[in-house]
Amino acid sequence: MQFTCSGTDVRFDEKTLRFAFRRDGADWTWRDGFMPSFDCHVAGRPADAATVVPGHTTSADSDQSNPNDRIRTFAFADAASITHELRETGTGVGVFSTFRGFGDAPDFAFATYVWVERASGDVICEWMPLDETGLSVTRLTWPGEMTFDGESDRDVTLITHQQGVMIPNTWPTAVSSAHGDIVFGGRFETAGGYMPWFAQIRGSQADCGKNGNDEPHDDRDGRDDGRDTQSTRSARISDDDSRPTTTGAPAYIAICETPWNAGYAIEHPAGGRETPAEAGNVAAGTFVGTCIGMWFEPSLGRMDYRRVVRYRFLSDADHTSVAKSYRAYVDERGRLRTLAEKAARNPSVRNLIGCSWMHVGIKTVVQPESRFYDREHPENNLHVTSFAARAKQLATLHELGAGRIYMHLDGWAEPGYDNQHPDYLPACEEAGGWAGMKALVDACHARGDLFGTHDQYRDYYFDARTFDRNNAVRLPDGTNPEQTIWAGGHQTFLCAELAPDYVRRNFAEIAANGVRLDCAYLDVFTCNEGDECANPEHRMTRRDCYERRAECFEYLLSHGILSSSEEVSDWAVPSLVFCHYAPYDFQMRDPSAPRQGVPVPLYNLVYHDCVIEPWMMERVAGGDDYMLYALLNGGAPYLIRDAAYVGVDGDMSPEQRAQAENDIERCNAVAALHERVGMSELVRHDFVGGDPLVQRSVFADGTVVTCDFHDQTYRIEG
């Protein structure tokens, strides 16, 4: 079957159920061997009679089943009845297919509709459950992965794993979501997929075969005293200002329009080659490139709703134009909310631009059952720093030359950091109580600084004062997820349907005690997956969960408190002002670990002017200076980034003062750039001369930042 609409040709093989697409002279086909399929629970099925397919789960996954059940995989082609129908409507042309009867479930049925949108030429793939009688689907693998096996380092895959990763087809390091290389298993709307899309480009601008596989290095022979200024560092960049070599290339972007129970699976073998196990020689393997596709899971035990993926085919593409295509997509749907728009509602947004971040704590309490409990040094499990000491520390930083500061305060309440949420109040008595906390906030405001608190409305601790198991997330099997990882020990998860109630209660009490917050950080909301709850009193899907989390942010904003959370996520953009960080994936691993691709600022190419991001400022011994990534991304700097379980008082030794002066100098340079571009769109990101170790960012105000990771230097122009 074949049809054409708005310049897009579609071919459908009714035997293999695979599709091929052609647009602007470029062909894209589902890879040979791809089998549209779904996995399902089969109750009581013997282990040797079922195909067991491993999948990613988390403690709050809602597709729990009887542990004696087995997983069976059905191909779409296994259906007892299959029909195909060519459809033409006022909005497009496509093929509508139905599949009915699988195994012992003759009534189980679903439909697919693959069609070309007349207005755009995009291909839209829809999967619709018709009758779920007899089978319980656990995972749907559809639509198909594209053939992407060109043996070229200029053929690249883009994934939204944290800030963004570009994986050339010949990249030497294996990347596998099945083997845990992608956090949260590639689930969209988590750190594993900040945005619900991936893309592949044939013939990108990056010449990764030349030096993209080299680890960035520091060539200063250990002589770095950390006192480089912008001018001295700029002098190290060659005067050869060759423009980026951007060669047009065909590409596609796959956008998941129903991302709440979805993600991507990626398999990239080392060097792009499948190596026979007996050979042990990468060069001997068959070149396969990179394979990436979508997966979908049930919601509360049922597939329940239509799943939609949009393919947009691009010509003359690079990673910037792919990201801008997605920016246009979200803008058309009213989900692009800029900082300028947010500042119109809350003018204090502008006060946060150009600040340096000071992340410190007050009270640490680690429960004996926590993974972080120090049994060898039990004194480390309890520590209190007074509010007055933090005020003194703030004053010292200003004496040493720090500009405006945003103080993020952990562990400020009586239970201590990550304990007894959501019953967290009052303010820590040992540290000075409400009066001491108010004095600290007033000291911040007197210096023109901003103040915000850490808070938590997902982790639900069993020793919380008003704990009620009925308010916890309930899985379809009737149990509650439980864990003892964090400092507070034994916990489950609070159903987010109830979270806004606790937010209103707690923040009203904070205000009643005279503490005027500028900002508030609601932990994990934009990093972890949404939860699902089967309790009929507060039933909640993942989509519902994201809406309730957004409601918490909106409450803060309505009271003039700027909203923040752990990382960033597509769903949160309209109601999130800033985050704890939005790092590249490699920054969250051991610096000595091989990188899983070239870092590219995909999130910021879409949302830089929508969400404020503070950046790590560490120097890695023999590696990168993370300050350069802060500059490239036009972000705010971390002046102090204390771990939550470490407290430092306001006094500083001479060595600490010298280090602080150095850190302040670096932070002031980054903060000055952030003051300039913090509310500007990142309009372009390039590899200068095709070299991924020389990167350039261009902002809407004309500012150009070039960073050379060969010698760890930078230049700011415009």
The CATH number assigned to the domain holding 415 equals: 3.20.20
What share of the chain has pLDDT > 70, as a percent?
87
Please write the tens of the pLDDT for every residue from 226-280: 334 333 333 333 333 333 333 469 999 999 999 999 999 999 999 999 876 545 5
CB atoms within 10 A of CB 408: 25
Give pTM, 2 decimals: 0.90
Please write the tens of the pLDDT for every residue from 329-364: 999 999 999 999 999 999 999 999 999 999 999 999
Confidence at residue 245, expressed as pLDDT on a 0 to 100 scale: 39
Among residues 101, 122, 146, which one ends one of the domains?
Answer: 146
Among residues 124, 146, 168, which one ends one of the domains?
Answer: 146
Task: Please determine, for residue 137, whether its predicted confidence score (pLDDT) is greater than 50.
Answer: yes
Nearest Cα to Cα of residue 343 among 609, 572, 11? 609
Any residues with CB less than 8 A from the CB of 401 and at least 6 apart, and which?
A: 661, 664, 665, 668
SS3 call for 184? helix
382: burial class by Cβ within 10 Å (0-12, 13-18, 19+)? exposed
Say how far apart CA 309 and CA 127 lie, in whole Å. 9
| Residue 34: inside a domain | yes
Task: Please determine, for residue 183, whether its predicted confidence score (pLDDT) is greater than 50.
Answer: yes
Residue type at 3?
F
Residue in this structure with the two tokens 């195994």, named with its chain if needed = 103
Going from the C-alpha of 25 to that of each of 250, 251, 313, 315, the distances in angstroms are: 9, 11, 11, 9
| Residue 11: inside a domain | yes
Average pLDDT along the chain: 90
Measure CA of the first residue to CA of the last residue in the chain; give whole Å.
54
Confidence at residue 43, expressed as pLDDT on a 0 to 100 scale: 58
Going from the C-alpha of 443 to that of each of 401, 432, 521, the distances in angstroms are: 17, 14, 20
Q: How confident is the model at residue 281 (pLDDT cuts 50, 70, 90)?
A: low
CB contact at 8 A, 530 and 549: yes
In the predicted model, what is the mean pLDDT of residues 575-591?
Answer: 96
Nearest Cα to Cα of residue 147 among 360, 290, 352, 286? 290
SS3 call for 643? coil
Residue type at 33?
G
Confidence at residue 284, expressed as pLDDT on a 0 to 100 scale: 66
SS3 call for 200? strand
Say how far apart CA 21 and CA 8 lie, in whole Å. 7
| Residue 639: inside a domain | yes
| Residue 661: inside a domain | yes
| Residue 199: inside a domain | no
| Residue 70: inside a domain | yes
Confidence at residue 71, expressed as pLDDT on a 0 to 100 scale: 87
Confidence at residue 180, expressed as pLDDT on a 0 to 100 scale: 95
Partners of 263 in the beta sheet? 187, 295
Please write the tens of the pLDDT for every residue from 608-623: 999 999 999 999 878 8
In the predicted model, what is the mean pLDDT of residues 670-676?
Answer: 98
What share of the chain has pLDDT > 90, as a percent?
83
Task: Please determine, for residue 222, whether its predicted confidence score (pLDDT) is greater than 70.
Answer: no
SS3 call for 704? strand
| Residue 40: inside a domain | yes
Confidence at residue 229, expressed as pLDDT on a 0 to 100 scale: 38
Among residues 146, 176, 195, which one ends one of the domains?
Answer: 146
Distance of CA 497 to the CA centre of its chain: 23
Distance of CA 637 to the CA centre of its chain: 19
280: burial class by Cβ within 10 Å (0-12, 13-18, 19+)? exposed
Task: Please determine, for residue 711, whether its predicted confidence score (pLDDT) is greater than 70.
Answer: yes
Say how far apart CA 330 and CA 389 lie, in whole Å. 45
Say how far apart CA 234 and CA 243 lie, in whole Å. 17
Partners of 363 in the beta sheet? 384
| Residue 709: inside a domain | no
Task: Please determine, for residue 217, whether its predicted confidence score (pLDDT) is greater than 70.
Answer: no
Phi, psi angles (nearest 5°) of residue 252: -135, 150
| Residue range(s) defining the domain that contains residue 379 | 339-454+498-577+612-679
Please write the tens of the pLDDT for every residue from 284-335: 689 999 999 999 999 999 999 999 999 999 999 999 999 999 999 999 999 9
Nearest Cα to Cα of residue 333 among 310, 315, 316? 310
Task: Please determine, for residue 656, whether its predicted confidence score (pLDDT) is greater than 80.
Answer: no
Provide the domain count of the chain.
2
Going from the C-alpha of 49 to that of each of 39, 70, 662, the distances in angstroms are: 14, 9, 65
For 202-306, where are the E strands, in sequence order? 251-256, 262-268, 273-274, 286-287, 291-296
Please write the tens of the pLDDT for every residue from 484-501: 999 999 999 999 999 999
Say how far apart CA 385 and CA 388 lie, in whole Å. 8
Task: Please determine, for residue 369, whether its predicted confidence score (pLDDT) is greater than 90.
Answer: yes
